[in-house]
């Protein structure tokens, strides 16, 4: 079979299962099996696919049909232009989260005094590593409670940030020391009901990275409540969450004394990030 035929067969099977990224997924999986880039894949459309690669492709398409995210199958996901190592047990980086990185960078570009950044619930480390990679003058720290995250983070820290990011294994602020100019986080924020629904559908990402309790805000409330103790005066707190959670988060941040609270939209135009500043005007 040619590359084109294999690609089409894979994407056909995935679209029958209503996977809306069928063609993209099929091409990423085939690139992985052939160990080539996507540019090279499209240049090789008329070539034959070797038997070994074909067998592997068939197996991975089956796994994709069984809800394994492509990033778990290929072991990698591009985020902010960087190839992050990904394994089962951590949340796959999502394009929406690039908004957090962009927002932090726009703050640090405007105010060069903002140097110390903490990425809490870092997972793969995609936020922390992208920040350090874009501005090496930042002192970036990261934390997560998950042992898998610690391992995956350290791989990405070594390969994409020269091991320059300091990691603390911590349940939210429990083991965090010192204060920061910016705390940025993509914590678990689905409701327990939504998380359970995904698990029943066969979702493979860990509930630990998704489940934010009854209304999805359990961890976020703790973060907003404790962040002032870990922020320098005038420091920023940035949190990714669901658009429907922004209003409650705003109220919560106001009651903790945050000012200049702003809600920012992601690429599809949804409220995705809330940002506030510590201290009086
Ligand atoms: N945005 C993610 C999703 O809907 C949830 C990520 C999170 O809880 N931090 O899959």
Compute, in angstroms, the gap from residue 91 CA to the centroid of ligand 1. 8
**Could you tell me the pTM of the whole model?**
0.95
Question: Residue 56's pLDDT is what?
Answer: 98
- Give the pair of three-digit tokens for residue 29: 């999986």
CA distances from residue 109 to 125, 132, 134, 181 in whole angstroms, order as listed: 21, 13, 11, 13
Question: Residue 85 in 3-state DSSP?
Answer: strand
- Low-confidence residues in the chain, pLDDT < 50: none
What ipTM is given for this predicted complex? 0.95
* Residue of 121, 189, 239, 271 to mutate, ligand 1, most atoms within 8 A of C-beta: 189
Q: Measured from the CA of 242, which atom of ligand 1 is nearest? A: 1
Residues with CB under 6 A from ligand 1: 94, 186-190, 210
The string of pLDDT tens digits covering residues 93-105 is: 999 999 999 999 9
Question: Residue 141's pLDDT is what?
Answer: 98
Compute, in angstroms, the gap from residue 97 CA to the centroid of ligand 1. 9
- Domain ranges for the chain, please list them: 3-66, 88-278
**φ, ψ for residue 78 (rounded to 5)?**
-80, 135
Compute, in angstroms, the gap from residue 90 CA to the centroid of ligand 1. 12
> End-to-end distance of the chain based on CA atoms, in angstroms?
67
Compute, in angstroms, the gap from residue 56 CA to the centroid of ligand 1. 30
Q: Measured from the CA of 240, which atom of ligand 1 is nearest? A: 9
Compute, in angstroms, the gap from residue 242 CA to the centroid of ligand 1. 8
Q: Whose CA is nearest to atom 9 of ligand 1?
A: 188
Question: Residue 280's pLDDT is what?
Answer: 74
* Residue of 97, 186, 191, 238 to mutate, ligand 1, most atoms within 8 A of C-beta: 186
Question: Residue 279's pLDDT is what?
Answer: 84
Question: Residue 248's pLDDT is what?
Answer: 98
Best CA proximity match to 237, nearest among 176, 155, 180, 169: 180
Q: Measured from the CA of 186, which atom of ligand 1 is nearest? A: 9
Question: Residue 177's pLDDT is what?
Answer: 97
Q: Whose CA is nearest to atom 4 of ligand 1?
A: 190
Best CA proximity match to 238, nearest among 222, 251, 253: 253
Compute, in angstroms, the gap from residue 190 CA to the centroid of ligand 1. 6
For 223, other C-beta atoms within 10 Å of its C-beta total: 22
CATH superfamily of 88-278: Vaccinia Virus protein VP39 (3.40.50.150)
């Amino acid at each position: 079979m040619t590359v084109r035929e294999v690609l089409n067969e894979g994407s056909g099977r995935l679209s029958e299962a209503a996977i809306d990224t069928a063609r993209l997924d099929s091409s990423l999986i085939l690139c992985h099996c052939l160990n080539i880039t996507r540019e090279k894949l499209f240049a090789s459309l008329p070539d034959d696919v070797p038997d070994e690669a074909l067998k592997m492709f068939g197996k991975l398409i089956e796994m994709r049909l069984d809800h394994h995210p492509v990033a778990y199958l290929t072991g990698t996901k591009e985020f902010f232009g960087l190839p992050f190592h990904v394994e089962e047990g951590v949340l796959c980086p999502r394009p929406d989260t690039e908004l957090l990185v962009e927002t932090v960078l726009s703050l640090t570009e405007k105010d060069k005094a903002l140097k110390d950044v903490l990425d809490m619930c870092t997972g793969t480390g995609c936020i922390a590593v992208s920040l350090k990679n874009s501005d090496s003058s930042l002192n970036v720290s990261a934390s997560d409670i998950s042992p898998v995250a610690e391992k995956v983070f350290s791989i990405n820290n070594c390969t994409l940030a020269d091991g320059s990011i300091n990691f603390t294994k911590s349940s939210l602020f429990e083991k965090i020391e010192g204060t920061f100019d910016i705390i940025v986080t993509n914590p678990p924020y689905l409701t327990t009901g939504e998380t359970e629904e995904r698990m029943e559908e066969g979702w493979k990402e860990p509930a630990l990275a998704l489940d934010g309790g009854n209304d999805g805000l359990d961890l976020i409330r703790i973060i907003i409540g404790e962040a002032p103790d870990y922020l320098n005066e005038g420091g920023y707190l940035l949190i990714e969450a669901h658009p429907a959670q922004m209003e409650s988060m705003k109220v919560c941040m106001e009651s903790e004394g945050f000012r200049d609270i702003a809600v920012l939209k992601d690429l599809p135009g949804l409220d995705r990030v809330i940002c506030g500043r510590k201290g009086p005007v």
